[in-house]
Homo-oligomer: A and B are copies of this chain.
Amino acid sequence: MTYELYYWPGIPGRGEFVRLALEAAGAKYTDVARSRKNGADAVVKFLESDNVARPPFAPPFLKDGDLLIGQTANILLYLGGRIGLAPKAEGGKLWTHQLQLTITDFVQEIHDVHHPIGGSLYYEDQKPAANKRAKDFRANRLPKFLGYFESVIARNAKGGGHLVGRSLTYPDVSLYHVIAGLRYALPRAMAKIEPDYPRLVALHDKVAALPKIKAYLKSKRRQPFNDYGLFRHYPELDG
């Protein structure tokens, strides 16, 4: 069975959280828009056609046979147990999903640092607000989220540095990507704050060293961060 991932070509974006989970698990998938010419059309078709019974609001979405699943965290909820990246018992499954939803909130706030007024305007048209939001983000939100995830790993004392249980789950993989993205976007702020979160740094390194992830990061399937995506490097927002 091959999963079909639909996401805008050209940016890692929210699609990357699904891609990384599939790669970490060694699951077979097609990154549909990147495997075709005019690949974005394949994404748009599902968003705009009246024939889609259960339309996604936005990409990423995943097609698995007849099932079409939208919302990043919902896709990972579906994939988790199937690809060996989540507990199957209900309590553990919900806890894993809860962490992913908190990562979703974190990612949204990271995005909104450069787009506090709205996605319909360019960054250049909302710079003063972005500057203020970045200041608040660096001072309050960044340490709050990092501290939360650090404490989750600390409380999972027998977990060998994982967020949930004793083995890799999809929020581990997503959090690796968030840390990598934050280092790209806010290198100065991160260099200053990272020593306070040794468990998160260790988790980042552990995921980056997984043979399947290592191979993926070197491949052409991995797209570099750039200033069209979620994580953008605008030096003036970096303190």
| A binding-site residues for B, Cβ under 8 Å | 50, 52-57, 66-67, 69-71, 73-74, 77-78, 90-91, 94-95, 97-98, 101-102, 105, 108, 112, 116-118, 120-121, 126, 129, 132-133, 136-137, 139-141, 145, 148, 151-152, 155-156
Contact = CB atoms under 8 A, between A and B. Distances in A.
Contacts of A94: 67, 69, 74, 77-78
Interface of A is mostly: helix
A166 to B, nearest CB: 14
Contacts of A102: 57, 70-71
A101 B136 contact: no
B101 A120 contact: no
B57 A74 contact: no
Contacts of A136: 117-118, 120-121
3 closest A-B pairs (Cβ-Cβ)? A118-B136, A71-B101, A129-B129
Given A55-B152, A91-B67, A105-B57, A117 B129 contact: yes
